[in-house]
Amino acid sequence: MDITTDGGAVHRSGFISLVGRPNAGKSTLLNAMLGTKLAIVADKPQTTRTMIQGVWTGPGAQLVFLDTPGIHEPKNLLHKRMMQHVRDALEGRNLIVFVADASRAFSAADLEALEWIKRVSTPAILVLNKIDLVRDKPSLLVLLETYRQHHDFAEYIPLSAQSGEGVEILRQAIVSRMPEGPRYFPEDYLTDQPERFLAAELVREKILLLTRQEVPHSTAVVVDKWDDANPALARILATIHVERPSHKAIVIGQKASMLKRIGTEARLEIEKLIGRKVYLELFVRVNENWRQKAQFVNELEPHGVQ
């Protein structure tokens, strides 16, 4: 395989896992790295439920990122599967990017999350994210020192995944730590996630952003039918699974107003993602205790049961 670029310079490539506590900004950072919205983002913990692959190709380097669910104590089968994804993401990678929320004080939960990366020998970079929210800049140094005492990181990088400040510094740091290697994927390749999965995720994102309390966490979205018979218009039928009748009422809303809003906002984003018009029809179904049902949880994976 040719591992040099046109100029004969070294080509670098490798696999990088983004890990950290829920809500730290891992998915926002993945999207910032890729310059496109691939992973859904919400102001609620446990937004990402699976491993999301995103590939960045630049001059002389190709970086294969894996976004993971936030590290937390599993309370049901879904959570256990989520934590298995984190475990998988720590093995056999070139680098771990541990993302922490710099706007919050260091806590016992951060210490527990650090334990996960201490168990593996993979080198890790610490990202102190959300620096746009930190007014007291010297406090960043204190936080950084706290992390340093608990783990020997290869590098410490404060940034804002949202504003983009510091993101290129992180990219350079990652590239410089990659081994020489080939382009694993074509230049314009972005992800292995099927469109069906990405569309279901966008519907779930709108539910996360528009509903409250238990509803976001007890919701799953499955695309039941995707019809491309008309090349100009994708017809998508999807079901929103909720755990209780009261949740169904919330997701549907007064005169179906909530469901309409979820549908419209998701449709616009799916159209942007797939580059064609979309007809999106949503159904809501009570599926009691789905978070404990192995077969259903398997089917939510991007590639179904492996």
Binding site for Mg ion (CB under 5 A): 26-27, 47-48
**Which residue, 11 or 217, has its beta carbon nearer to Mg ion?**
217
Stretch that binds ligand GTP, among 104-112, 160-168, 236-244, 272-280 (CB under 6 A): 160-168
216, interface contact from Mg ion, ligand GTP, none, CB < 5-8 Å by kind: none
Q: Does 57 bind ligand GTP (CB under 6 A)?
A: no
Helices (H), the chain: 26-34, 77-90, 108-118, 138-150, 167-176, 195-210, 214-217, 245-252, 257-274, 294-299
**CA neighbor of 63 nearest in space, from 188, 192, 183:** 183
Q: Does 46 bind ligand GTP (CB under 6 A)?
A: yes
At closest approach, how far in Å is the CB of 48 from ligand GTP? 3
Helices (H), 13-107: 26-34, 77-90
**CA neighbor of 69 nearest in space, from 77, 60, 81:** 81
Separation of alpha carbons 280 and 294, rounded Å: 28
Q: Name residue 96's beta-bridge partners.
A: 17, 124
54, interface contact from Mg ion, ligand GTP, none, CB < 5-8 Å by kind: none
Give the C-alpha distances (Å, rounded to integers) separating 100 from 22, 128, 203, 230: 9, 5, 27, 45
Whose structure tokens read 């527990």?
112
Q: Does 214 bind ligand GTP (CB under 6 A)?
A: no
At closest approach, how far in Å is the CB of 139 from ligand GTP? 16
Q: Does 48 bind ligand GTP (CB under 6 A)?
A: yes
Among residues 130, 204, 217, 241, the one that binds ligand GTP under rule CB under 6 A: 130
Stretch that binds ligand GTP, among 35-43, 84-92, 119-127, 227-235 (CB under 6 A): 35-43
Q: Enter the tokens of residue 143.
A: 């936080």
Looking from the CA of 279 toward its CB, the CA atoms found within 13 Å total: 11
191, interface contact from ligand GTP, Mg ion, none, CB < 5-8 Å by kind: none
Among residues 13, 17, 23, 191, the one that binds ligand GTP under rule CB under 6 A: 23
At closest approach, how far in Å is the CB of 79 from ligand GTP? 12
